[in-house]
Protein backbone atom coordinates (compact mmCIF):
# COMPACT_ATOMS: atom_id res chain seq x y z
CA UNK A 1 0.00 0.00 0.00
CA UNK A 2 1.52 3.28 -1.04
CA UNK A 3 -0.88 5.99 0.11
CA UNK A 4 -3.17 6.77 2.99
CA UNK A 5 -6.10 6.93 0.61
CA UNK A 6 -5.50 3.33 -0.39
CA UNK A 7 -5.61 2.32 3.26
CA UNK A 8 -8.99 3.95 3.75
CA UNK A 9 -10.69 3.30 0.43
CA UNK A 10 -8.54 0.77 -1.37
CA UNK A 11 -8.13 3.26 -4.19
CA UNK A 12 -6.29 6.50 -4.84
CA UNK A 13 -7.86 9.88 -4.08
CA UNK A 14 -6.27 12.71 -6.03
CA UNK A 15 -5.73 16.34 -5.07
CA UNK A 16 -5.36 15.73 -1.36
CA UNK A 17 -4.20 18.77 0.64
CA UNK A 18 -0.47 18.67 1.34
CA UNK A 19 -0.97 20.10 4.84
CA UNK A 20 -4.00 18.50 6.49
CA UNK A 21 -5.85 20.43 9.19
CA UNK A 22 -5.99 18.64 12.52
CA UNK A 23 -9.55 17.78 13.52
CA UNK A 24 -9.35 18.85 17.16
CA UNK A 25 -12.82 17.57 17.99
CA UNK A 26 -12.04 14.03 16.82
CA UNK A 27 -8.63 14.08 18.51
CA UNK A 28 -10.21 15.34 21.73
CA UNK A 29 -13.01 12.78 21.73
CA UNK A 30 -10.56 10.00 20.90
CA UNK A 31 -8.12 11.05 23.61
CA UNK A 32 -10.83 11.35 26.27
CA UNK A 33 -12.32 8.00 25.29
CA UNK A 34 -8.90 6.38 25.32
CA UNK A 35 -8.11 7.81 28.77
CA UNK A 36 -11.44 6.70 30.23
CA UNK A 37 -11.06 3.17 28.89
CA UNK A 38 -7.43 3.10 30.05
CA UNK A 39 -8.60 4.03 33.54
CA UNK A 40 -11.15 1.21 33.53
CA UNK A 41 -8.48 -1.27 32.41
CA UNK A 42 -6.23 -0.05 35.22
CA UNK A 43 -9.06 -0.48 37.71
CA UNK A 44 -10.17 -4.00 36.73
CA UNK A 45 -6.89 -5.27 35.30
CA UNK A 46 -3.26 -4.44 35.93
CA UNK A 47 -0.52 -2.00 34.89
CA UNK A 48 0.71 -4.66 32.44
CA UNK A 49 -2.64 -4.56 30.60
CA UNK A 50 -2.52 -0.76 30.52
CA UNK A 51 0.89 -0.94 28.84
CA UNK A 52 -0.48 -3.38 26.28
CA UNK A 53 -3.49 -1.12 25.73
CA UNK A 54 -1.10 1.77 25.02
CA UNK A 55 0.92 -0.42 22.66
CA UNK A 56 -2.34 -1.23 20.85
CA UNK A 57 -2.93 2.50 20.52
CA UNK A 58 0.55 2.93 19.09
CA UNK A 59 -0.14 0.18 16.58
CA UNK A 60 -3.33 1.97 15.50
CA UNK A 61 -1.40 5.21 14.94
CA UNK A 62 1.39 3.43 13.04
CA UNK A 63 -0.97 1.44 10.82
CA UNK A 64 -3.00 4.53 9.94
CA UNK A 65 -0.20 7.06 9.52
CA UNK A 66 1.91 4.66 7.44
CA UNK A 67 -1.18 3.37 5.59
CA UNK A 68 0.27 -0.06 6.30
CA UNK A 69 -2.51 -2.27 5.00
CA UNK A 70 -1.92 -5.85 3.91
CA UNK A 71 -4.99 -6.06 1.66
CA UNK A 72 -4.18 -3.29 -0.82
CA UNK A 73 -0.48 -4.21 -0.78
CA UNK A 74 -1.37 -7.67 -2.05
CA UNK A 75 -3.95 -6.32 -4.52
CA UNK A 76 -1.50 -3.79 -5.96
CA UNK A 77 0.87 -6.60 -6.84
CA UNK A 78 -1.80 -8.96 -8.15
CA UNK A 79 -3.37 -6.33 -10.41
CA UNK A 80 -0.63 -3.82 -11.18
CA UNK A 81 2.55 -5.75 -10.34
CA UNK A 82 3.52 -2.95 -7.96
CA UNK A 83 5.36 -4.56 -5.07
CA UNK A 84 6.28 -1.77 -2.65
CA UNK A 85 3.59 -2.61 -0.09
CA UNK A 86 4.27 -6.33 -0.26
CA UNK A 87 8.04 -5.81 -0.04
CA UNK A 88 7.50 -3.69 3.06
CA UNK A 89 5.62 -6.62 4.60
CA UNK A 90 8.48 -9.01 3.79
CA UNK A 91 10.94 -6.58 5.36
CA UNK A 92 8.72 -6.40 8.44
CA UNK A 93 8.71 -10.20 8.67
CA UNK A 94 12.50 -10.34 8.28
CA UNK A 95 13.11 -7.83 11.06
CA UNK A 96 10.55 -9.49 13.33
CA UNK A 97 12.08 -12.96 12.73
CA UNK A 98 15.53 -11.69 13.73
CA UNK A 99 14.13 -10.26 16.97
CA UNK A 100 11.34 -12.68 17.89
CA UNK A 101 12.93 -16.09 17.36
CA UNK A 102 15.82 -15.62 19.86
CA UNK A 103 13.36 -14.32 22.49
CA UNK A 104 11.06 -17.31 21.99
CA UNK A 105 13.94 -19.82 21.83
CA UNK A 106 15.36 -18.37 25.05
CA UNK A 107 12.11 -19.15 26.85
CA UNK A 108 11.20 -15.51 27.47
CA UNK A 109 7.92 -15.80 25.58
CA UNK A 110 5.73 -18.28 23.72
CA UNK A 111 5.62 -18.29 19.94
CA UNK A 112 2.56 -18.39 17.69
CA UNK A 113 3.21 -22.05 16.81
CA UNK A 114 0.09 -23.77 15.48
CA UNK A 115 -0.64 -27.22 14.05
CA UNK A 116 -0.56 -27.84 10.31
CA UNK A 117 -3.48 -29.43 8.50
CA UNK A 118 -6.09 -28.97 5.82
CA UNK A 119 -7.92 -26.49 8.04
CA UNK A 120 -4.96 -24.09 7.69
CA UNK A 121 -5.18 -24.34 3.91
CA UNK A 122 -8.94 -23.74 3.80
CA UNK A 123 -8.93 -21.09 6.51
CA UNK A 124 -6.15 -19.00 5.01
CA UNK A 125 -7.68 -19.27 1.52
CA UNK A 126 -11.03 -18.05 2.85
CA UNK A 127 -9.34 -15.24 4.71
CA UNK A 128 -7.40 -14.09 1.64
CA UNK A 129 -10.58 -14.10 -0.42
CA UNK A 130 -12.52 -12.32 2.30
CA UNK A 131 -10.00 -9.56 2.83
CA UNK A 132 -10.30 -8.50 -0.81
CA UNK A 133 -14.11 -8.47 -0.71
CA UNK A 134 -14.32 -7.02 2.78
CA UNK A 135 -11.78 -4.31 1.98
CA UNK A 136 -9.43 -4.98 4.86
CA UNK A 137 -7.63 -7.63 6.88
CA UNK A 138 -7.68 -8.23 10.65
CA UNK A 139 -5.65 -5.15 11.55
CA UNK A 140 -6.91 -3.17 8.52
CA UNK A 141 -10.55 -3.66 9.47
CA UNK A 142 -9.86 -2.38 12.97
CA UNK A 143 -7.87 0.69 12.03
CA UNK A 144 -10.27 1.78 9.28
CA UNK A 145 -13.27 1.34 11.62
CA UNK A 146 -11.38 3.44 14.16
CA UNK A 147 -10.91 6.04 11.43
CA UNK A 148 -14.67 6.26 10.89
CA UNK A 149 -15.24 4.12 7.79
CA UNK A 150 -18.89 3.01 7.79
CA UNK A 151 -18.47 0.24 5.24
CA UNK A 152 -15.72 -1.35 7.32
CA UNK A 153 -18.02 -1.34 10.34
CA UNK A 154 -20.27 -3.71 8.37
CA UNK A 155 -17.23 -5.85 7.58
CA UNK A 156 -16.28 -5.90 11.27
CA UNK A 157 -19.74 -7.02 12.40
CA UNK A 158 -19.71 -9.84 9.83
CA UNK A 159 -16.11 -10.62 10.85
CA UNK A 160 -17.27 -11.11 14.44
CA UNK A 161 -20.12 -13.36 13.31
CA UNK A 162 -17.81 -15.47 11.16
CA UNK A 163 -15.35 -15.77 14.05
CA UNK A 164 -17.99 -17.16 16.39
CA UNK A 165 -19.19 -19.60 13.73
CA UNK A 166 -15.60 -20.72 13.26
CA UNK A 167 -15.24 -21.51 16.96
CA UNK A 168 -18.24 -23.83 16.76
CA UNK A 169 -16.75 -25.80 13.86
CA UNK A 170 -13.03 -25.75 14.72
CA UNK A 171 -13.07 -28.87 16.98
CA UNK A 172 -14.56 -30.88 14.09
CA UNK A 173 -11.88 -29.64 11.69
CA UNK A 174 -9.12 -30.49 14.17
CA UNK A 175 -10.28 -34.11 14.26
CA UNK A 176 -9.08 -34.44 10.66
CA UNK A 177 -5.55 -35.42 9.59
CA UNK A 178 -2.72 -33.05 10.40
CA UNK A 179 0.99 -32.81 11.12
CA UNK A 180 0.82 -31.06 14.45
CA UNK A 181 2.85 -27.93 15.21
CA UNK A 182 6.08 -27.49 13.22
CA UNK A 183 8.59 -25.08 14.78
CA UNK A 184 11.28 -24.30 12.20
CA UNK A 185 13.51 -22.55 14.72
CA UNK A 186 13.42 -25.53 17.07
CA UNK A 187 14.05 -27.96 14.21
CA UNK A 188 17.02 -26.07 12.76
CA UNK A 189 18.21 -24.33 15.98
CA UNK A 190 17.35 -20.62 16.39
CA UNK A 191 20.20 -19.28 14.23
CA UNK A 192 19.39 -21.71 11.42
CA UNK A 193 15.71 -20.80 11.62
CA UNK A 194 16.46 -17.08 11.43
CA UNK A 195 18.85 -17.51 8.49
CA UNK A 196 16.41 -19.71 6.60
CA UNK A 197 13.48 -17.35 7.05
CA UNK A 198 15.38 -14.17 6.26
CA UNK A 199 16.93 -15.78 3.18
CA UNK A 200 13.55 -16.89 1.85
CA UNK A 201 11.95 -13.52 2.59
CA UNK A 202 14.74 -11.57 0.88
CA UNK A 203 14.61 -13.94 -2.09
CA UNK A 204 10.87 -13.31 -2.39
CA UNK A 205 11.48 -9.55 -2.26
CA UNK A 206 14.03 -9.90 -5.06
CA UNK A 207 11.54 -11.86 -7.18
CA UNK A 208 8.83 -9.26 -6.59
CA UNK A 209 11.22 -6.49 -7.61
CA UNK A 210 12.17 -8.37 -10.76
CA UNK A 211 8.52 -8.83 -11.72
CA UNK A 212 7.79 -5.14 -11.13
CA UNK A 213 10.84 -4.05 -13.11
CA UNK A 214 9.84 -6.31 -15.99
CA UNK A 215 6.34 -4.77 -16.08
CA UNK A 216 7.16 -1.11 -15.46
CA UNK A 217 10.87 -0.73 -16.22
CA UNK A 218 11.63 0.42 -12.67
CA UNK A 219 10.91 -0.50 -9.06
CA UNK A 220 9.22 1.82 -6.60
CA UNK A 221 11.66 2.40 -3.78
CA UNK A 222 11.15 2.06 -0.07
CA UNK A 223 12.47 5.22 1.56
CA UNK A 224 12.92 6.62 5.04
CA UNK A 225 12.59 10.20 3.85
CA UNK A 226 9.13 11.78 4.24
CA UNK A 227 7.71 14.11 1.61
CA UNK A 228 7.37 17.00 4.07
CA UNK A 229 8.97 18.02 7.33
CA UNK A 230 9.66 14.97 9.45
CA UNK A 231 8.05 16.34 12.62
CA UNK A 232 4.89 17.36 10.77
CA UNK A 233 4.72 13.99 9.03
CA UNK A 234 5.20 12.22 12.37
CA UNK A 235 2.14 13.95 13.79
CA UNK A 236 -0.26 14.29 10.86
CA UNK A 237 0.61 11.15 8.91
CA UNK A 238 1.79 10.21 5.47
CA UNK A 239 4.63 8.19 6.96
CA UNK A 240 7.03 6.43 4.60
CA UNK A 241 6.37 2.70 4.68
CA UNK A 242 9.74 2.10 6.33
CA UNK A 243 8.60 4.17 9.30
CA UNK A 244 5.69 1.78 9.57
CA UNK A 245 8.02 -1.22 9.40
CA UNK A 246 10.16 0.19 12.22
CA UNK A 247 7.18 1.10 14.39
CA UNK A 248 5.35 -2.22 13.89
CA UNK A 249 8.52 -4.23 14.54
CA UNK A 250 9.30 -2.35 17.74
CA UNK A 251 5.74 -2.43 19.06
CA UNK A 252 5.42 -6.09 18.08
CA UNK A 253 8.56 -6.90 20.08
CA UNK A 254 7.23 -4.99 23.10
CA UNK A 255 3.98 -6.97 22.84
CA UNK A 256 5.94 -10.22 22.82
CA UNK A 257 8.04 -9.27 25.86
CA UNK A 258 5.23 -7.79 27.96
CA UNK A 259 2.40 -10.20 27.16
CA UNK A 260 4.55 -13.31 26.73
CA UNK A 261 3.01 -14.03 23.32
CA UNK A 262 3.03 -12.39 19.87
CA UNK A 263 0.47 -9.87 18.69
CA UNK A 264 -2.94 -11.23 17.72
CA UNK A 265 -6.22 -9.63 16.66
CA UNK A 266 -9.07 -11.91 15.70
CA UNK A 267 -9.47 -13.91 18.92
CA UNK A 268 -10.89 -10.66 20.30
CA UNK A 269 -13.64 -10.77 17.67
CA UNK A 270 -14.58 -14.30 18.70
CA UNK A 271 -14.77 -13.23 22.35
CA UNK A 272 -16.90 -10.17 21.59
CA UNK A 273 -19.34 -12.24 19.53
CA UNK A 274 -19.53 -15.07 22.06
CA UNK A 275 -20.14 -12.64 24.92
CA UNK A 276 -22.89 -10.94 22.96
CA UNK A 277 -24.62 -14.27 22.36
CA UNK A 278 -24.10 -15.22 26.01
CA UNK A 279 -25.78 -11.97 27.04
CA UNK A 280 -28.74 -12.90 24.81
CA UNK A 281 -29.20 -16.12 26.74
CA UNK A 282 -27.22 -18.57 24.60
CA UNK A 283 -24.94 -20.67 26.81
CA UNK A 284 -21.72 -20.65 24.81
CA UNK A 285 -19.95 -22.95 27.29
CA UNK A 286 -21.99 -25.85 25.90
CA UNK A 287 -19.86 -25.73 22.75
CA UNK A 288 -16.57 -27.62 22.76
CA UNK A 289 -14.34 -24.67 21.82
CA UNK A 290 -15.66 -22.53 24.65
CA UNK A 291 -15.07 -25.32 27.17
CA UNK A 292 -11.34 -25.38 26.43
CA UNK A 293 -9.33 -23.72 29.22
CA UNK A 294 -8.23 -20.45 27.59
CA UNK A 295 -11.46 -19.67 25.65
CA UNK A 296 -13.52 -20.63 28.71
CA UNK A 297 -11.50 -18.27 30.89
CA UNK A 298 -11.81 -15.47 28.35
CA UNK A 299 -15.57 -16.01 28.13
CA UNK A 300 -15.97 -15.78 31.91
CA UNK A 301 -13.72 -12.75 32.42
CA UNK A 302 -14.20 -9.14 31.39
CA UNK A 303 -12.88 -8.18 27.95
CA UNK A 304 -10.83 -5.55 29.81
CA UNK A 305 -8.56 -8.23 31.23
CA UNK A 306 -8.06 -10.08 27.96
CA UNK A 307 -4.82 -9.11 26.21
CA UNK A 308 -6.12 -9.45 22.64
CA UNK A 309 -9.27 -7.45 23.35
CA UNK A 310 -7.42 -4.72 25.23
CA UNK A 311 -4.95 -4.28 22.40
CA UNK A 312 -7.71 -4.29 19.78
CA UNK A 313 -9.59 -1.56 21.66
CA UNK A 314 -6.38 0.44 21.99
CA UNK A 315 -5.83 0.06 18.24
CA UNK A 316 -9.30 1.46 17.53
CA UNK A 317 -8.69 4.56 19.63
CA UNK A 318 -5.18 4.98 18.25
CA UNK A 319 -6.51 4.93 14.69
CA UNK A 320 -9.25 7.40 15.60
CA UNK A 321 -6.76 9.85 17.07
CA UNK A 322 -4.43 9.39 14.08
CA UNK A 323 -7.29 10.06 11.66
CA UNK A 324 -8.13 13.21 13.59
CA UNK A 325 -4.50 14.35 13.48
CA UNK A 326 -4.52 13.73 9.72
CA UNK A 327 -7.80 15.63 9.35
CA UNK A 328 -9.31 12.59 7.64
CA UNK A 329 -11.71 11.01 10.13
CA UNK A 330 -14.64 9.46 8.25
CA UNK A 331 -12.71 9.99 4.99
CA UNK A 332 -13.64 6.64 3.56
CA UNK A 333 -17.35 6.93 4.24
CA UNK A 334 -18.17 8.82 1.08
CA UNK A 335 -18.32 5.44 -0.63
CA UNK A 336 -21.93 4.69 -1.50
CA UNK A 337 -23.23 1.71 0.45
CA UNK A 338 -25.23 0.01 -2.29
CA UNK A 339 -26.54 -3.57 -2.09
CA UNK A 340 -23.54 -5.08 -3.91
CA UNK A 341 -21.08 -3.14 -1.79
CA UNK A 342 -22.77 -4.19 1.43
CA UNK A 343 -22.97 -7.80 0.21
CA UNK A 344 -19.23 -7.82 -0.43
CA UNK A 345 -18.58 -6.42 3.06
CA UNK A 346 -20.76 -9.09 4.67
CA UNK A 347 -19.37 -12.00 2.64
CA UNK A 348 -15.82 -10.76 3.12
CA UNK A 349 -16.26 -10.36 6.87
CA UNK A 350 -17.80 -13.81 7.28
CA UNK A 351 -15.02 -15.44 5.24
CA UNK A 352 -12.33 -13.67 7.24
CA UNK A 353 -13.87 -14.49 10.60
CA UNK A 354 -14.42 -18.17 9.80
CA UNK A 355 -11.08 -18.48 8.02
CA UNK A 356 -9.15 -16.89 10.87
CA UNK A 357 -10.43 -19.43 13.37
CA UNK A 358 -9.64 -22.39 11.12
CA UNK A 359 -6.18 -21.02 10.30
CA UNK A 360 -5.29 -20.07 13.90
CA UNK A 361 -5.15 -16.39 13.10
CA UNK A 362 -5.36 -13.69 10.49
CA UNK A 363 -2.73 -11.66 8.67
CA UNK A 364 -1.42 -10.69 12.13
CA UNK A 365 -1.84 -13.76 14.35
CA UNK A 366 -0.91 -16.31 11.66
CA UNK A 367 0.97 -14.49 8.88
CA UNK A 368 2.98 -11.91 10.85
CA UNK A 369 3.25 -13.56 14.27
CA UNK A 370 3.34 -17.11 12.88
CA UNK A 371 6.22 -16.49 10.48
CA UNK A 372 8.04 -14.24 12.97
CA UNK A 373 7.82 -17.13 15.49
CA UNK A 374 9.24 -19.62 12.99
CA UNK A 375 6.00 -21.58 12.62
CA UNK A 376 5.42 -23.53 9.41
CA UNK A 377 1.71 -22.77 9.57
CA UNK A 378 2.50 -19.07 9.01
CA UNK A 379 4.18 -19.87 5.67
CA UNK A 380 1.26 -22.07 4.60
CA UNK A 381 -1.08 -19.24 5.56
CA UNK A 382 0.91 -16.86 3.36
CA UNK A 383 0.78 -19.15 0.32
CA UNK A 384 -2.92 -20.01 0.45
CA UNK A 385 -3.99 -16.60 1.75
CA UNK A 386 -2.36 -15.08 -1.32
CA UNK A 387 -4.16 -17.56 -3.58
CA UNK A 388 -7.42 -16.63 -1.92
CA UNK A 389 -6.65 -12.96 -2.54
CA UNK A 390 -6.17 -13.65 -6.25
CA UNK A 391 -9.67 -15.13 -6.36
CA UNK A 392 -11.03 -12.27 -4.26
CA UNK A 393 -9.51 -9.66 -6.58
CA UNK A 394 -11.13 -11.40 -9.55
CA UNK A 395 -14.51 -11.31 -7.79
CA UNK A 396 -14.39 -7.65 -6.75
CA UNK A 397 -15.81 -6.24 -10.05
CA UNK A 398 -18.87 -8.48 -9.63
CA UNK A 399 -19.65 -6.51 -6.50
CA UNK A 400 -19.10 -3.14 -8.15
CA UNK A 401 -15.63 -2.73 -6.66
CA UNK A 402 -12.73 -1.52 -8.75
CA UNK A 403 -9.22 -2.87 -8.72
Within 8 A by CB and 6+ apart from 261, the residues are: 109, 110, 111, 112, 255, 307
H/E element holding 40? helix 24-44
Dihedral (CA of 276, 277, 282, 284) sign: negative
Instruction: Determine what percent of the chain falls in helix, strand and coil, rounding each to the nearest 5.
Output: 75, 0, 25
Average confidence score pLDDT of the chain: 93
Give the pLDDT score at 128.
98
Mean pLDDT of 330-352: 85
> How would residue 335 be classed by pLDDT, with cut points 50, 70 and 90?
low
Q: Which of 149, 158, 154 minimizes the C-alpha distance to 7?
A: 149
Q: Which of 327, 331, 351 minimizes the C-alpha distance to 150?
A: 331
For the CA atoms of 14, 17, 22, 23, what is the dihedral angle to 10 degrees? -50
Mean pLDDT of 58-65: 97
Q: Which of the residue ranges 16-25, 37-46, 118-127, 364-373 would you say has the lowest mean pLDDT?
A: 16-25
Each residue's pLDDT tens digit, 152-210: 999 999 999 999 999 999 999 999 888 899 999 999 999 999 999 999 999 999 999 99
Q: Residue 142 burial (CB < 10 Å; 0-12/13-18/19+)?
A: buried
* Cβ atoms of 116 and 375 closer than 8 Å: no
Q: Where are the alpha helices (DSSP H) in 45-117?
A: 47-65, 70-80, 84-105
SS3 category, 330: coil
Per-residue DSSP letter, 178: E
Comparison of pLDDT for 5 and 48, the residue scoring more: 48
Each residue's pLDDT tens digit, 277-306: 999 999 999 999 999 999 999 999 999 999
* Cβ atoms of 130 and 348 closer than 8 Å: yes
Q: Which residues pair with 180 in a beta bridge?
A: 116
d(CA 60, CA 38): 15
> How would residue 5 be classed by pLDDT, with cut points 50, 70 and 90?
very low
* Cβ atoms of 1 and 73 closer than 8 Å: yes
Longest dimension (CA), the chain: 61
Give the pLDDT score at 228.
85
Q: What are phi and psi of 115, to 5 degrees?
A: -65, 160
Within 8 A by CB and 6+ apart from 269, the residues are: 156, 159, 160, 163, 312, 353, 356
* Cβ atoms of 315 and 137 closer than 8 Å: no
Domain extents in the chain? 22-399
Q: Which of 75, 56, 226, 74 minimizes the C-alpha distance to 143?
A: 56
* CB contact burial 15-38 (16+ within 10 A = b; e otherwise): eeeeebeebeebbebbeeebeebb
Amino acid sequence: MSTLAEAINGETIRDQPSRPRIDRFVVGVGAIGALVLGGLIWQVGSPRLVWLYMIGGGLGVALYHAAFGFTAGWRNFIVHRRSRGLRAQLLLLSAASVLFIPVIAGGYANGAIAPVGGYIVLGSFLFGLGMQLGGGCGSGTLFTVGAGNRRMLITLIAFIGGSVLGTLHLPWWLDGPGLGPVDLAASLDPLGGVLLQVSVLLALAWVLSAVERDRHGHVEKLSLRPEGRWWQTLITGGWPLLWGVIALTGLGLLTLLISGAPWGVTFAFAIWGAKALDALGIDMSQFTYWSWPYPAQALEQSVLVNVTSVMALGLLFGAMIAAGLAGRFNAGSQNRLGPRNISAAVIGGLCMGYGARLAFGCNIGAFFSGIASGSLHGWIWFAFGFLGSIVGVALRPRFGMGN
